[in-house]
Amino acid sequence: MMNLEEQQCIQDRTGEVRRYQLWGSIATTIPFAAFVQLQQCVATSALHESAEFTSECICYPNTRNTLLDSIIINIDRATAPQETEKFIWINGAAGSGKTSIAHSVAERCLGRGIIVATFFFGRSDPNRNTIHSVVSTIAYQLCQQIPAAKRIILSAIAGDPLIFDKAFNAQFQMLVIDPLLRVQGKTERSRTWSILLLLDGLDECPGMEPHQIILIQTISKHLRQSHTLPLTVLITSRPESHLSMQFTGEGNFIRHVALDTSYPAHNDIRRYLNAKFDTIKTTHPLKEDITRLGKWPSTENIQKIMSKDSGQFIYAAVVMNFVSDGQSYPPDQLDIALSLESCSSSTSLSVWTALDSMYHHVFSQLKDLPQAILLVSFVILAEIVSLVAIAAFFDIPLHRIRTTLGGLSSVMNCQGNNLVLLHASLPDFLLDKARSGAYYINPTEWKTQLCVISLKKSVATPEGINL
């Protein structure tokens, strides 16, 4: 008898290659071509375990525990057919930590044996800034974790090869809901399983507001109709008006979690700051000089940072990246950060005015500001992060890109061969003239300049650049 892992490809009468697999003693035919087709439609960078993400993507240890615990309880309760709160919407401003929370939820669920399928949207990634590959990416993950559902999903694709050209509702019904309903209770594991579908950053699909609404409506409808499924759907996004209206319109069926008001992060931010300062004092190249200062930072230093964060992690994170710069003396860096005045004329200090002050200072210290702004505008407007593509477009060596942008290490850095913006708040800042002032990137003017550069060089615009 063949074991679970053994496979044999044979040629059937029509010449189509089919892969035969055995689950237990049952021989099941899986159209190999269908699996290949599914793989080709997957947005691999949207997966929780994608190489795009690092350990820093999850919440800092011992932070956000109250919120994370409550979400896990919510997911556990979804196994009860009578449970109505199976749809969770976590909303918060840029910098509130939504993506870190999403990754942490996924990590906790996987550790508990919960089936998890994720899609992490990303504005600058053409594979992740659309809903078109959401169902295929989720279906692929279900195939990997539920063998019985895999047979049904692949059979559906084989029977309808154009399924990925159909509307979101049809795809979700055929490749997610129907397979789960058909295998529910049919295997020992399915009698006790719990499933989480996690979609992070739904607002990161520019120009696709109608599709975002359809996604919410579709998921809500199927969760209501298939209430016996032990299925929870968690979506995170900024509280954009059209999303808020849609989620509110679903009534009490959806659990609303407003990070800005429901789960204050002040205590977690204090814990994060203390831990990061401890790390600096034990790992920084100038740690011995720091030790001679005695108690550093002072309680007043910590309190002053917290007075500017407005309960958002982003300001604290940017400050700590700035302070921990390996080529600078952390106490001096901290003094600079704390001495920055608000760039806003408003008398009320918010996380944005404090954060803008940090951004203004970082850009003011650049040795070659025009070149740096040129490169950053290319990354933001052309949505290209590959260092190789950037070097080719501007005909400059890689090392010059690294040195030019070296002063921006607290807000963006090089990970492998890619430039990575550490937070979406940086493009928000640079594309808002009222906030960025002299560092403002005017989309129209900069796109024109980038096109002129391309024409002068008499080269075709690199594939994938959207100028």
* Residue 386 per-residue DSSP state: B
SS3 156: helix
Q: Tell me: the pLDDT tens digits for 3-19? A: 433 333 333 333 333 43
> Is it the case that residue 463 has pLDDT exceeding 90?
no
Give pLDDT, residue 287. Answer: 93
- Average pLDDT of 39-55? 87
Closest by alpha carbon to 433, among 351, 356, 334?
356
**Rounded CA separation 177/167 (Å):** 15
> Is it the case that residue 177 has pLDDT exceeding 80?
yes
Q: Which amino acid is at 27?
A: A
Give pLDDT, residue 352. Answer: 64
Give how far Cα 297 sits from Cα of 277, 331, 332, 351, Å.
8, 8, 11, 21
> Is it the case that residue 410 has pLDDT exceeding 80?
no
**Rounded CA separation 448/455 (Å):** 11
* Residue 461 per-residue DSSP state: P
* Residue 345 per-residue DSSP state: S
Give pLDDT, residue 1. Answer: 40
Q: What is the DSSP track for 96-113?
A: S-HHHHHHHHHHHHHHTT
Q: Tell me: the pLDDT tens digits for 143-153? A: 999 999 999 99
For the chain, give the mean pLDDT. 84
- Average pLDDT of 35-62? 88
CB atoms closer than 10 angstroms to residue 368 = 14
* Residue 26 per-residue DSSP state: E
Domains for the chain: give ranges and CATH numbers.
46-262 (3.40.50.300), 266-364 (no CATH), 369-456 (1.10.10)
Give pLDDT, residue 349. Answer: 41
**Rounded CA separation 235/243 (Å):** 11
SS3 168: helix
Looking from the CA of 388 toward its CB, the CA atoms found within 13 Å total: 3
At which residue do the structure tokens 């057919």 appear? 81
CB 215 within 8 A of CB 171: no
**Rounded CA separation 464/126 (Å):** 8
* Residue 442 per-residue DSSP state: -
- Average pLDDT of 42-59? 85
**Helix (H), strand (E) at residue 446:** helix 443-456
**Helix (H), strand (E) at residue 254:** strand 254-258
Q: Helix 134-145 vs helix 147-159: angle between axes, to the nearest 10 degrees?
A: 140
Residues 334, 337, 338, 339, CA torsion sign: positive
Closest by alpha carbon to 222, among 166, 159, 162, 180?
180
> Is it the case that residue 323 has pLDDT exceeding 50?
yes
- Average pLDDT of 361-380? 90
> Is it the case that residue 54 has pLDDT exceeding 50?
yes
CB 9 within 8 A of CB 36: no
**Rounded CA separation 280/333 (Å):** 12
Give how far Cα 90 sits from Cα of 74, 150, 237, 313, Å.
13, 30, 7, 16
**Omega before 297 cis (within 30°)?**
yes
Q: Tell me: the pLDDT tens digits for 74-97? A: 998 887 766 668 999 999 877 788
pTM equals 0.75
Neighbouring-strand partners of residue 19: 9, 30
Closest by alpha carbon to 376, among 410, 404, 339, 347?
404
Distance of CA 456 to the CA centre of its chain: 37
Which range is least confidently modeled, 16-25, 90-99, 246-255?
16-25
Angle 283-56-331 from CA coordinates, rounded to 5°: 35
- Average pLDDT of 364-372? 90
- Average pLDDT of 251-255? 83
Task: Grade residue 372 by pLDDT with cuts at 50, 70 and 90.
Answer: very high
Task: Grade residue 456 by pLDDT with cuts at 50, 70 and 90.
Answer: confident
Give pLDDT, residue 338. Answer: 86
Q: What is the DSSP track for 189-226?
A: GGGT--EEEEEE-GGGSTT-HHHHHHHHHHHHHHHHHT
How large is the C-alpha radius of gyration of the chain? Answer: 25
